[in-house]
Structure 1
Amino acid sequence: MAYTSQDTKAHENARLAGIRTKSIDIIVPSHSVSTLICPRTPDTDEPASVLAKAIEASDRFMTNTTVCLEIEGPLPVPSYVRESIDLLNRYPVKLIIVCDGAATHEPGPLLDDSLCQKVKEVSPGGELWHPIAKQSVRAR
């Protein structure tokens, strides 16, 4: 599915809630990383829904994209982030979450098992970019 005006609106709603697009980086000509900075407490009554829509929009921006959620502050990962993954309804996205030096994928320290499992469940497989290790890793 292509990026549409609905996706532009999703990104704007995220920005208004305090979820910012940090960057869209081309890693190699065939792969990009879209990083969203997630505050501890977004300024919205529906943070999980706003984030889920921004994740989908980020994934549709370019083909073969890793969507990276960079959580501000220390562990634990805020509950709205976990809830946003549930709201994706198994939308297939190469997703990685980083918080306080840990991530949902190896190498390096891992976030808690339940969050790592949630992320794996939405993964279509293949390669994704690990922003801490600065290397490509298997999505599943």
Structure 2
Amino acid sequence: MSYGSVETQALEAARLAGIRTVDVVHKDNSHIVITLTCPRNPDTAEPAKVLAGAIEASDRFTENVTVSVEVEGQAPVPSFVQEAIDYLKGYPVKLIVVCDGASTHAPGALLDDALCMKVNELLPGGTMWHPVVDMTVWTNR
């Protein structure tokens, strides 16, 4: 893991757009959850790129991170979130998207199938922390 000025700049760009790092929680000896709260309309011309940068920067913070993107408001999730995931293609990240009480991972209510599949394609395998049910879950890889 490498964390430096590039990651700091990515998180600052996100903050200026309204995407906030609201929590960094050590859940147990092997899981850390970093929660990004994302407005439905970030204040930037490139919300997908800014969100993707914030997700990657959060993942690089330390090992064993689950990045939770909590989208404000009601489902469905805005399209720029799926576009952000497209920017991350090929970058393995333990990511979960949460909106309106549903998420991209079971157990519990699931978001749109296409979004769930896109997030699943990024997962590196192993376990990650599910913030909605507050427990570890296995990724599908």
Interval containing the TM-score (normalised by the shorter chain): over 0.9
| Partner SS for 1:61 | coil
Q: How far did residue 22 of structure 1 move? A: 0.9
Amino acid paired to 2:74: P
Q: How far did residue 89 of structure 1 move? A: 2.4
Q: Per-residue displacement from partner, 1:7-26 (whole Å, max 9, x unpaired)? A: 00000000000000010100
RMSD: 0.7
Match of 2:123 in 1: 123
Q: How far did residue 112 of structure 1 move? A: 1.1
Match of 1:47 in 2: 47
The unaligned stretches of length 5 or more in structure 1 are: none
| Partner SS for 2:37 | strand
Match of 2:2 in 1: 2
Does 1:34 pair with 2:61?
no
Match of 1:59 in 2: 59
Q: Return the alpha-carbon distance in structure 2 between the equivalents of residues 100 and 36 of structure 1.
A: 15
Q: How many residues align?
A: 140
Percentage of pairs with the same residue = 61
Q: Per-residue displacement from partner, 1:30-81 (whole Å, max 9, x unpaired)? A: 2100000000000000000000010000000010100000000001101110
TM-score (norm: length of structure 2):
0.97
Match of 1:79 in 2: 79
Q: Return the alpha-carbon distance in structure 1 between the equivalents of residues 14 and 74 of structure 2.
A: 21
Structure 1 stretches of 4+ moved >4 Å: none
Q: Return the alpha-carbon distance in structure 2 between the equivalents of residues 74 and 89 of structure 1.
A: 26
Match of 1:114 in 2: 114
Amino acid paired to 2:33: V
| Partner SS for 1:86 | helix
The unaligned stretches of length 5 or more in structure 2 are: none
